[in-house]
A = this chain, B = another copy of it.
């Protein structure tokens, strides 16, 4: 008997976006169906049930027609979004995966996905003491980003002065904790009092400030770093980058990880203080976590014990159901998320 088609609810892009993303830029549809068994023609392919989807900032650039900077293909209006997520394998025609495996990697914003390049999936050796959702954040792509960006790109040394922007977010909160772990002095910026408190009380940042309350970012940085900044972990871009450049120390390093403040702008703001790079001999280095995937096993080995013994922790912001997917994404750009913004599909029947 042929396998029955089941509903496959999806979150689709309604139209190309400019400026801030709005909930109405996306819509949920239950029109799509899928067979929950792969046919013999599906060689090398994996069928998954999606459990958690990551509302990652990089989805916004993919929502516009031509992003001047991006090297990835934009989303297509009328098609579902895709991005990082955690999923359970329902059927597999790929030798590395079996029914029942848990995986993380790029999947669709939908109940079920057919993944045709499973080489880019990571198998989760499920540790029942660690929430599965962590593989969208601290144990997944953002975690590896913080780890490789901080340890590999920044080359940090004990006692150095570290500044992290968007510090309460998925990547930022981890960078700050890594920096404390090796004995750096760490200050973070974030967009609300609650986040600032969290940074200091939960994540052990030495100081933190609300950038929205500082009309003079240069003055704020001089207050927190009278001696200057050795390492800046860049997550926001724009005015903050310009202010940081003026406050770097000689031989400082800037890991350019993200520029979320610019993703919603028609034209990026101009950075006026790049001459600081010369006078202070600064290394400013962009990176992409995909180049560091080979480090993933080493990263897990380092991080899992620290999560278990409570030395490193994380905060997640979990919203449930594809109907709330668009709202979850919008939160990342208005800063309403505290910690990794996750969309859970666990209760989608």
Contacts and interface: CB of A to CB of B under 8 A. Distances in A.
Nearest to A271: B271
Contacts of A282: 285-286
A71 interface: yes
A237 interface: yes
A331 interface: no
B275 A284 contact: no
Nearest to A286: B277
A284 B277 contact: yes
A281 B268 CA distance: 18
Interface stretch (A7-15, A83-91, A116-124, A256-264): A256-264
Contact of A274 (B241, B246, B250, B276): B241
Range of interface residues on A (Cβ < 8 Å): 35 or more
A32 interface: no
A289 B286 CA distance: 24
Given A282-B286, A285-B277, A270 B267 contact: no
Most B CB contacts (10 A, CB to CB) among A69, A258, A274, A287 go to A274
A262 B275 contact: yes
Q: Which of A268, A273, A281, A286 has the most CB of B within 10 A?
A: A286
Contacts of A291: 281
Contacts of A288: 278-279, 281
Interface centre among A272, A275, A291 (most CB of B within 10 A): A275
> Is chain A's interface secondary structure helix, strand, loop, or mixed overall?
loop
A70 interface: yes
Interface string A240-268: 01000010001000001111001000011
Given A271-B270, A272-B269, A274-B237, A71 B287 contact: no
Nearest to A290: B281
Interface string A290-329: 0100000000000000000000000000000000000000
A94 interface: no
A284 B276 CA distance: 12
A218 B291 CA distance: 28
A283 B285 contact: yes
Contacts of A277: 256, 284-286
Nearest to A70: B279
Interface string A323-348: 00000000000000000000000000
A275 B272 CA distance: 14
Interface of A: 68-71, 237, 241, 246, 250, 256-259, 262, 267-288, 291
16 contacts: A69-B278, A71-B279, A237-B274, A256-B274, A256-B278, A259-B278, A267-B272, A276-B286, A278-B286, A280-B286, A281-B285, A281-B286, A281-B291, A283-B283, A283-B285, A284-B284
